Amino acid sequence: MDYISTRDSSRTPFKFTDILLSGLAPDGGLYMPVEYPRIDDATLTTWRGLLAEHGYAALAAEILKLYIDDIPHDDIEAIAARAYRTPVFETEDIVPVTRVDEHLLIAHLSDGPTAAFKDMAMQLLGELFEYELGRRDETINILGATSGDTGSSAEYAMRGRSGIRVFMLTPAGRMTPFQQAQMFGLDDPNIFNVALDGVFDDCQDIVKAVNADADFKREYRIGAVNSINWARLLAQTVYYISTYLRATESNDQKLSFSVPTGNFGDICAGHIARQMGLPIDRLIVATNENDVLNDFFTTGKYIPRSAAETLATSSPSMDISKASNFERFIFDVLDRDAATTAELFGIKVREGGFALDDDASRTAVRDTFGFLSGKSTHADRVETIRETYENFDIVVDPHTADGVKVARQWQDQVDTPIVVLETALPVKFSETIVEAIGKEPVTPERFKGIMDADRFVTDLPNDAEKVEEFISSSVQNSEK
């Protein structure tokens, strides 16, 4: 399997372990496989038995092998086994699936060490990074941006690992107290938290700017763990497949998925699984008040908003107005036209946005690729949390509530059951939970006392040069 950039018309090929460590492509594009491997009825039948008998890690290894040909298969199996195991995850299923009612199911993605779905990819990424760096005798400095859960998931996956430092940019004051405590409470010598004076999109822009500084990136060996890293999306395709196998009895059944999203990574993995041949009917994009993606899927217009226009909401991990992984999807919609993709995302987005609102494009997005969308507000979240608790004795976090609300919006028009992908455990968003149901969410034993820990974080201005200076001085000090 070779990989190409979404912006490279020459289709220069790369191998998996090269793109694993490099993040963005040199031309600013995102890496994609040259083609999606196809899974057929026989493959699904084999995987159904494999999951039932040997579990999630064994299934993950088989899916990874389809995309990785420069790591021995035995090593891939060992990597997956280390990533997906108890007690790192709370349950043997790793991703349990529960039925809410005849229309709705929930895939539980938050049983990992930081109680967020980001653990599903980050635990694998940590194992892959350490394996490949050790094989090359190299080090890496990971630069990432987080609107809430990516940061803690990355840091818990990378803390203490040989040859790896993590520099994580967060929007100052934009995360919940629990999210801040998870990240800023870490006092590991290879973890560096930065609170940036801005919103998540500013943090993401600085990550891209530093990656675009070729000399700095090369000298300081900058890598990425945000969902711009292909390996994260690859890891996320696994839980779509495992959820399908757990929620169906035969391969002629279809499911739809409602996915809370801001950066389009989680649902992009669903798009990949659907392109591989997984029997997915609809992929439903659930946004909050920052509804740039909902606007696109309803009007065909993609108009990213400025930092000043990006609202602070009660589902903060979705407070994003420029969705990085959206480029991967549009690349496929455009039949992999790299020149047009480069123009749209390299030029038009900077000029204010673009439109794919002709009938052919809108039909392709809705019918060929199966996308629908909807929007959820704070009032919707509170009401959905309350109703789900009162009617089914289930407490969902605000982001998952966005997914449930939009799923309910579409359930009478979609012919298949809808799986909502859980985003996080409710304990991370206690203020909204209390507003909705009148009491604090349950705090898992592993998080007792987390709010009382000291904080380790550096405040910086919204300035790529200042971030580079901080990385440089931190690396030099740690090498002394």
Residues annotated catalytic, as ranges: 118
137 vs 141: CA distance, rounded Å: 14
Alpha carbons 464 and 470: distance in angstroms, whole number: 10
Give the C-alpha separation, 394 to 62, whole Å. 33
User: DSSP 3-state helix, strand, coil percentages of the chain (rounded to 5)?
Assistant: 50, 15, 35
**Which of 283, 257, 246 minimizes the C-alpha distance to 44?**
246
Per DSSP, the three-state class of 419 is strand
Q: Are 240 and 370 in contact (CB under 8 A)?
A: no
User: How many CA atoms are closer than 13 Å to the CA of 298, on its beta-carbon side?
Assistant: 11
DSSP letters, 229-250, are: SHHHHHHHHHHHHHHHHHH-SS
| Distance from chain centroid for Cα 123 | 13
Residue keyed to tokens 């049983």: 111
Which residues, at least 6 apart from 391, have a Cβ–Cβ distance to it below 8 Å? Answer: none
DSSP 444-461: -GGGTTGGGS----EEE-
Per the CB < 8 A criterion, the answer to whether 338 and 7 are in contact is yes
Task: Tell whether omega for the bond before 87 is within 30 degrees of 0, i.e. cis.
Answer: yes
Cβ–Cβ under 8 Å, residues 281 and 414: yes
Q: Do 201 and 147 form a contact (C-beta atoms < 8 A)?
A: no
Cα four-point dihedral sign 125, 130, 132, 137: positive
Judged on CB neighbours under 10 Å (0-12, 13-18, 19+), 158 is buried
Closest CA to 259 of 103, 419, 145: 419
Tokens of 294: 């909902």
Q: What DSSP element (H or E) covers 342?
A: helix 338-343
How many angstroms separate the CA atoms of 18 and 344, rounded? 26
Question: H or E stretch including 153?
Answer: helix 149-158
Please answer whether residues 409 and 95 qualify as being in contact, where contact means their C-beta atoms are separated by less than 8 angstroms: no
The rounded distance, in Å, linking the Cα atoms of 399 and 169 is 21
